[in-house]
């Protein structure tokens, strides 16, 4: 009797199992390793993970008590990633490995969680729309920069994204009540704005009679109450006051509309700038997918309404709507699959060739975007260069200004004794010469009493040029390292100087 091949072998071999995940994981890991530093939006969770791993139960040493930020955030995501990465970090501490590698570890762990949720969605795409749609879903995701780049960045939006991907996979699977529960956890704990996605999806399920109103209310209210209880319990302990972090965020952003203080965009910005830049070729394809395959319409419409509703908020950032991109990619994969199937037919062949060309252009754009992002963390590179330049055992104090801290510096970047660090704010330039800092890292070219030792360039803009490649990055000095002129040991080192 002939042996039957395993199902995975018949349907694409090892790629049908974990191969596609390894492809996306390799790209995400490359981004995390090549651009390991974090920016101000990620600072709370980065510092929280550092403190959980290195200060454990000594809450009085935690960074958020000194620098609380504009609004409080939950510690739950930081706890999960810290617990998962703690065995590796424990070994690194035993081996005296610098803390910087702990930063890379927690970033990679977070990326694994995000991509695991994306795998669940991919599997359901294959079951519902076929193997070809799955392949194009992976390829479209791979050539996009932002989704995989953000997958390892400890933002509240990314913790919520993992639950949104889970909700999408449950939705495709037909587990409608679980879909609503996953979105409620994401909204109550990590990002209150997920309510703008929960509303349209919940309404769609009610109108299609996929769930009953009584069931929805029962499961949703109970889930919300449990999540509120958990986040209030944990975060009240960590913040040392009774609070529900996402309620305060909702009040700050929506009721007070204070988020507008960080800049505003036009109402159409998500559709005319953010989504085209992040989705690339998938953006027009997702619109075509709705026309070519009506099966995706009930799923696309609520997600589209989510972006429309979010467009009402004046302050806009891509990360706010990043949860919509996976679903839009599903629609795009259906259009790409249809073009592929009809590539030999008259008329369709030209569209197919245009699609392949757009794939290549998207890949090139993502490469340029990565290079810009790679050069967008001058603060982290400056502190690393300072550590490498001075290996003496003499105690030294480094002052890090706000710009440097916001452009790559975190507690993970700090070394042990003899290095000490200060992030004291509101120090005037004139006052520095009266202070006994050994080094300064800031955005000022010259400071009285200090010698400019070196500069670190950062990304400024992209310039068009009449040659190959047609795009080039323009970099400018962003962070300046200064040494105290009263310290002969500092001046005796070989510094490259400042232009």
Percent of the chain with pLDDT over 70: 97
CA quadruple 8, 28, 367, 269: dihedral sign? positive
Question: Using N-to-C axis directions, what is the helix angle for 348-374 and 20-34, rounded to 10°?
Answer: 30
* pLDDT band with cut points at 50, 70 and 90 for residue 16: low
Q: How far apart are CA 156 and CA 150, in angstroms?
A: 11
> Is it the case that residue 147 has pLDDT exceeding 90?
yes
pLDDT per residue over 209-230, tens digit each?
999 999 999 999 999 999 999 9
What is the per-residue pLDDT across 430-484, written as a single tens digit (0 to 9) for each?
899 888 899 999 999 999 999 999 999 998 888 877 777 777 788 999 999 999 9
Say yes or no to pLDDT of 290 above 90: yes
Per-residue pLDDT, 331: 97
What is the C-alpha separation between 365 and 471, in angstroms, rounded?
Answer: 9
pLDDT single digits (tens) 370-417: 999 999 999 999 999 999 999 888 999 999 999 999 999 999 999 988
For residue 117, what are its two tokens? 């949720």
Per-residue pLDDT, averaged over 332-359, amounts to 92
Over 70: is that where the pLDDT of 494 sits? yes
Taking only the tens place, the pLDDT of each residue in 82-118 is: 999 999 999 999 999 999 999 999 999 999 999 999 9
Task: Label residue 15 by pLDDT band (50, 70, 90).
Answer: low
Residue 13 has what pLDDT? 59
Quick check: 125 pLDDT over 70?
yes
Share of the chain above pLDDT 90, in %: 77
Over range 51-61, report the average pLDDT.
Answer: 93
234-278 tens-digit pLDDT: 999 999 999 999 999 988 877 777 777 677 888 999 999 999 999
Q: From CA 221, how far away is CA 216, in angstroms rounded?
A: 8
- pLDDT at residue 2 in the model: 46
Distances (CA, A) of 405 to 66, 215, 436, 463, 469: 14, 48, 20, 27, 33
**Tell me, what's the pLDDT at 217?**
93
Mean local confidence (pLDDT), 58-66: 90
8 Å CB contact between 323 and 164: yes
pLDDT at 175: 94
3-state secondary structure of 452: strand
Local confidence band at 62 (pLDDT 50, 70, 90 cut-offs): very high
Work out the pLDDT band at 45, boundaries 50, 70, 90: very high
Q: What is the pLDDT of residue 291?
A: 94
219 phi-psi bin (left φ>0, alpha ψ -120 to 50, beta other): alpha
């Amino acid at each position: 009797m002939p042996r039957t091949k395993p199902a995975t072998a018949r349907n694409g071999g090892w790629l049908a199992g974990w191969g596609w995940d390894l492809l996306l994981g390799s790209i995400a890991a490359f981004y995390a390793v090549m651009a390991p530093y974090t920016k101000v939006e990620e600072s709370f969770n980065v510092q929280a993970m550092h403190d959980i791993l290195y200060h454990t139960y000594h809450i009085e040493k935690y960074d958020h008590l000194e620098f609380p930020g504009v609004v409080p955030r939950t510690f739950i995501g930081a706890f999960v990633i810290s617990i998962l990465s703690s065995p590796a970090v424990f070994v690194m501490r035993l081996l005296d490995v610098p803390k910087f590698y702990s930063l890379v570890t927690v970033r990679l762990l977070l990326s694994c969680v995000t991509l695991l949720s994306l795998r669940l969605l991919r599997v359901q795409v294959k079951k519902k729309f076929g193997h070809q749609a799955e392949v194009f879903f992976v390829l479209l995701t791979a050539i996009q920069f932002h989704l995989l780049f953000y997958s390892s960045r400890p933002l509240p939006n990314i913790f919520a994204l993992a639950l949104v991907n889970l909700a999408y996979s449950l939705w495709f699977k037909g587990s409608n009540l679980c879909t609503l529960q996953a979105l409620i956890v994401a909204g109550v704990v990590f990002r209150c704005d997920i309510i703008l996605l929960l509303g349209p999806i919940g309404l769609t399920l009610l109108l299609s009679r996929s769930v009953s109103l009584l069931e929805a209310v029962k499961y949703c209210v109970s889930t919300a109450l449990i999540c509120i209880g958990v986040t209030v319990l944990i975060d009240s302990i960590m913040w040392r006051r009774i609070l529900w972090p996402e309620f305060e965020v909702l009040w700050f952003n929506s009721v007070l509309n204070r988020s507008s203080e960080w800049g505003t965009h036009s109402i159409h910005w998500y559709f005319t700038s953010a989504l085209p830049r992040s989705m690339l070729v998938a953006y027009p394809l997702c619109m075509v997918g709705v026309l070519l395959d009506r099966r995706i319409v009930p799923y696309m419409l609520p997600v589209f309404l989510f972006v429309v509703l979010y467009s009402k908020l004046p302050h806009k950032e891509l990360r706010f709507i990043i949860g919509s991109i996976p679903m839009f990619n599903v629609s795009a994969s259906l259009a790409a699959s249809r073009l592929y199937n009809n590539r030999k037919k008259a008329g369709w062949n030209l569209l197919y060739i245009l699609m392949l060309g757009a794939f290549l252009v998207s890949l090139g754009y993502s490469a340029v975007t990565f290079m810009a992002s790679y050069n967008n963390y001058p603060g982290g590179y400056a502190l690393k260069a300072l550590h490498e330049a001075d290996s003496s055992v003499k105690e030294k104090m480094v002052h890090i200004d706000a710009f440097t801290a916001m452009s790559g510096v975190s507690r993970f970047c700090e070394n042990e004794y003899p290095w000490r660090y200060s992030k004291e704010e509101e120090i005037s330039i004139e006052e520095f010469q009266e202070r006994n800092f050994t080094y300064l890292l800031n955005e000022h070219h010259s400071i009285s009493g200090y010698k400019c030792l070196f500069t670190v360039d950062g990304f400024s803009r992209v310039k068009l040029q009449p040659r190959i490649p047609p795009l080039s990055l323009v970099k400018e000095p962003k962070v300046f390292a200064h040494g105290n002129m009263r310290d002969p040991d500092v001046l005796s080192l070989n510094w490259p100087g400042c232009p």
